[in-house]
Amino acid sequence: MRFVIAQMRHETNTFSPIATPLTAFCRGADANGPVTGEAAVRACEGTNSAAAAFIDIVRSQGDEFVMSLLGSAVPSGTVSAEAFEFMSERIVASVRAGCDAVMLDLHGAMVAEGFPDAEGELLRRIRAVAPDMPIAVALDFHANFSAALVNNATAITGYCTYPHVDVYETGMRAARTLMAALRGEVQPFILSRTLPMLTHMLRQSPQEQPMKDIMDRAMAAERDGEVLNASVFGGFPLSDIPHVGLTVLLVADAGQRQAAQQLLDELTQMAWARRADFVYPIEPMAQSLAYAKTLEGGPIVLVDHGDNCGAGGSTDQMAVLAEVMRQGLDDVVAGPFCDPEAVAQMIAAGVGQRISLEVGGKTDTPAMKLKGQPLKLTGRVQCITDGNYQVTGPMFTGVRLSLGRTAVLDVNGILVMVCEKPQEPFDAGVFTHAGIDLARKKYILIKSRQHFRAGFGPIARHIVLVAGPGVCSSDYSLFPFEHLPRPIYPLEPETRLEFAAA
């Protein structure tokens, strides 16, 4: 048999001012966009990714595959039409050339110019050239669902973890169902329901309530054979599109229809009953840092979740670092802040040299009415690196990432890391590649939301969440939503639940 395998991943924050061109779809040192063919296979194999799982299962069967695309971009603003057309055409062309089935490693929250559900549009285009093609799709936990995405897939699975450490296994789950269908062992169909609720990402993690036993129930149902696949998606609430919300999606065999419907009702009712628990109460930034100052021991991980590039932030908001300095916290490592101009200045100065410069604040965020405010710093350039490292932690293990050129400035004992390319610090390699011993630091200030727990959770003595300003704020009242399905909870607290299967 012959399979088409592709990866096209982007989480789109429609309020983000950061552009998403084709060149953004490469996370390694090569910044020229997605890769194809053998180069894509080499970059993918052996990694904790769904695409790697697809490759492995096809090889184990002795079948053939073509890797039509490998493209993954850091979350940011709406994807350009050029980028979407280039990537989708590469995938569709591979299908048009002939295959027995398609396996797609997608995100599920990608918004492109003209297409609020880019993944759904991709599947629609595949169906247009191959109406009966079996299609397996592995999606991020933060996927949003339109009818086009659900109705054009044969099997869909989603990550069961946040931080996302089960990405490879998610691909395997989708692939196993697809292979069983190809062998004629099952006749899969999909049931799904999206609830009218904007969950807060700081309340979504399946490691904790209110999501934990909802996800546990879904995983048990899949493990015990009640359905073929069961996934719960927290959704990505920072996309102003008509199909945002918490979604339960089940893949069932033809004889499991009644059991699947009962499970769908059970899981969605559990989620809806806890809707108030999915709201994160915001604490003022200064109050959170004052509390952190009272804690004993270290490392104390300070998590600025308002400007996280992992959800579309610019990573150059400097307000939290400024407040850290104002309150006199010391023995701090902070970053990485994205500011290519500042990096160039430090490289020009050289290692060991003292320099005064403005860091960050180069990006305005019109949607949030935020003006960039650089922070004036004076210190010694401690080191300069190429910013390249390989992930060793449990999330996207083995993937090679690049911060671009990176420099560390020592500001009276506070180490400030500045880089050319944004990267959420879900792996300690962002700092250790520059020779920084995190275990010896009192405070680690990073921009993240939940993914940091994969790489930094094991070394953290304490974790303090800090609500800095930015396009990833948990205060939904700050966002000028125009296209959401209304009413929706918690924007309209009196929202009523109406069951409507996708």
pLDDT of residue 97: 97
The DSSP annotation for 55-82 comes to: HHHHHHTT-EEEEEEEEE--SBSPBPHH
Q: 300: closest CA among 427, 414, 467, 462?
A: 462
pLDDT of residue 29: 55
Is residue 402 within 8 Å of 72, Cβ to Cβ?
A: no
Amino acid letter, 9: R
pLDDT of residue 28: 61
Could you give the percent of the chain with pLDDT greater than 90? Answer: 96
Could you tell me the pLDDT band of residue 499, with boundaries at 50, 70 and 90? low
Is residue 338 within 8 Å of 314, Cβ to Cβ?
A: yes
Per-residue pLDDT tens over the stretch 155-183 = 999 999 999 999 999 999 999 999 999 99
Of the two residues 502 and 284, the one the predictor is more confident about is 284
Q: Which residues pair with 71 in a beta bridge?
A: 8
Of the two residues 27 and 337, the one the predictor is more confident about is 337
Per-residue pLDDT tens over the stretch 54-82 = 999 999 999 999 999 999 999 999 999 99
Q: Which segment of 18-32, 61-75, 418-432 scores lowest on mean pLDDT?
A: 18-32
Contacting residues for 170 by C-beta, under 8 A, at least 6 apart = 50, 53, 138, 139, 157, 158, 159, 160
The average confidence (pLDDT) of the chain is 95
List alpha helices for 197-238, DSSP H.
212-223
The DSSP annotation for 340-356 comes to: HHHHHHHHHH-TT-EEE
CA quadruple 481, 484, 490, 491: dihedral, nearest 10 = 40
Could you tell me the pLDDT band of residue 496, with boundaries at 50, 70 and 90? confident
pLDDT of residue 32: 78
Per-residue pLDDT tens over the stretch 117-135 = 999 999 999 999 999 999 9
Question: Is residue 27's pLDDT more than 70?
Answer: no
**Domains of the chain and any CATH numbers:** 2-278 (3.40.50.2300), 285-473 (no CATH)
pLDDT of residue 166: 96
Per-residue pLDDT tens over the stretch 191-200 = 999 999 999 9
* pTM of the complete model: 0.93
Could you tell me the pLDDT band of residue 102, with boundaries at 50, 70 and 90? very high
Could you tell me the pLDDT band of residue 501, with boundaries at 50, 70 and 90? very low
Question: Is residue 336's pLDDT more than 90?
Answer: yes
Question: Is residue 409's pLDDT more than 60?
Answer: yes
CA-to-CA distance for 482 and 39, rounded, in angstroms? 41
Could you give the percent of the chain with pLDDT greater than 70? Answer: 98
Rounded to 5 degrees, φ, ψ at 183 are -80, -5
pLDDT of residue 258: 96
Work out whether the CA dihedral 253, 191, 111, 372 comes out positive or negative.
negative
Question: Is residue 352's pLDDT more than 90?
Answer: yes
Work out whether the CA dihedral 95, 101, 103, 108 comes out positive or negative.
positive
Per-residue pLDDT tens over the stretch 257-292 = 999 999 999 999 999 999 999 999 999 999 999 999
Question: Is residue 500's pLDDT more than 80?
Answer: no
Is residue 438 within 8 Å of 455, Cβ to Cβ?
A: no
Question: Is residue 376's pLDDT more than 70?
Answer: yes
CA-to-CA distance for 118 and 121, rounded, in angstroms? 5
Per-residue pLDDT tens over the stretch 448-462 = 999 999 999 999 999
Question: Is residue 30's pLDDT more than 90?
Answer: no
Could you tell me the pLDDT band of residue 502, with boundaries at 50, 70 and 90? very low
DSSP 396: S
Per-residue pLDDT tens over the stretch 466-489 = 999 999 999 999 999 999 999 999
| Strand 229-233 relative to strand 300-304, pairing | unpaired
